[in-house]
């Protein structure tokens, strides 16, 4: 079995978090180190390490992650101004926590998509 991360404990409420949404498929909570005024992580409740580990059975949870992002963005008042959704995958994607998660970032201009290395 692939070892679970701190995010599984957050889902089960064994560790504290600023949780903004939870249902039978996904959980959303504020990032502990917010980069922008709104920085929420939306994750599947099932421990899927990376995007590369998604199976056909996960399609409902993946779809739910997007609809929950839309709902939270509306609640945060950033639907009109806009926001960015980011999913990092493995080393080159700079994924730090091996439990698939989508960053919802907004509240001000998020800047360019990526800054090219010099
Ligand atoms: P990644 O770089 O893997 O895409 O993003 C991981 C994110 O998880 C980071 O933005 C980091 O601040 C956040 N994070 C790491 N540990 C915790 C934690 O224990 N609680 C919360 N709320 N966020 C965390």
DSSP assignment of 35-83: SSSEEEEEEESS---SGGG--GGGHHHHHHHHHHHHHHHHHHT-TTT-E
Q: What percent of the chain has pLDDT over 70?
A: 98
- Higher pLDDT: 2 or 70? It is 70
Residue 96 beta carbon below 6 angstroms from any ligand 1 atom = yes
Residue whose CB lies within 8 A of the most ligand 1 atoms, among 29, 84, 91, 96, for a mutation test: 96
Residue 117 has pLDDT above 90, yes or no: no
Categorize the per-residue pLDDT at 1 as very low, low, confident or very high, splitting at 50, 70 and 90: low
What per-residue confidence (pLDDT) applies to 79?
98
In sequence order, the β-bridge partners of residue 27 are 22, 43
- Give the distance from CA 23 to its chain's centroid: 14
Residue 117 beta carbon below 6 angstroms from any ligand 1 atom = no
Classify domain 6-106 at the CATH class level: alpha beta
The domain locations on the chain are 6-106
**pLDDT tens across 9-62, in order?**
999 999 999 999 999 999 999 999 999 999 999 999 999 999 999 999 999 999
């Amino acid at each position: 079995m692939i070892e679970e991360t701190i995010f599984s404990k957050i889902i089960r409420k064994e560790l504290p978090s600023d949780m903004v949404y939870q249902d039978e498929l996904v959980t959303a909570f504020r990032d502990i180190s917010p980069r922008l005024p709104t920085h929420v992580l939306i994750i599947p409740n099932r421990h899927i390490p990376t995007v590369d580990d998604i199976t056909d059975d996960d399609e409902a949870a993946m779809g739910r992650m997007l609809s929950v992002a839309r709902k939270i963005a509306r609640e945060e008042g950033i639907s009109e101004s806009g926001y960015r959704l980011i999913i990092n995958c493995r080393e080159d994607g700079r994924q730090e926590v091996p439990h698939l998660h989508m960053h919802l970032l907004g509240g001000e201009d998020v800047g360019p998509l990526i800054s090219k290395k010099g």
